[in-house]
Amino acid sequence: DQLIQDCDVVYLLTDTRESRWLPTVMAAAYNKMMINAALGLDSWLVMRHGGDTRINSSLGCYFCNDVVAPENSTRNRTLDQQCTVTRPGLAPVAGSMAVELMVSLLHHSEQHNAPAPRNSTTFSPIVTDATASPLGLMPHQIRGSLVSYTMMNPTVPAFSCCTGCSSSILNAYENNNVDFMCQAAYSVSGTYLEDISGLTAFRAQAERLFDNVDEDWEIDS
Active site residues: 83
Q: What is the DSSP letter of 124?
A: S
> Are residues 27 and 49 in contact, defined by beta-carbon separation less than 8 angstroms?
yes
> Are residues 35 and 46 in contact, defined by beta-carbon separation less than 8 angstroms?
yes
Q: Sort residue 28 into left (φ over 0), alpha (ψ -120 to 50) or beta.
A: alpha
Query: Do strands 9-12 and 33-39 pair parallel, antiparallel, or not at all (unpaired)?
Result: parallel
How far, in Å, CA of 117 to CA of 79, rounded?
36
Beta strands in the chain (DSSP E): 9-12, 33-39, 43-48, 132-133, 136-137, 141-145, 150-152
Q: How far is CA 94 from CA 6, 38, 50, 51, in A?
A: 26, 8, 19, 21
Query: Among residues 61, 38, 32, which one has the least CA distance to residue 48?
Result: 61
| 47, β-bridge pairs | 36, 141
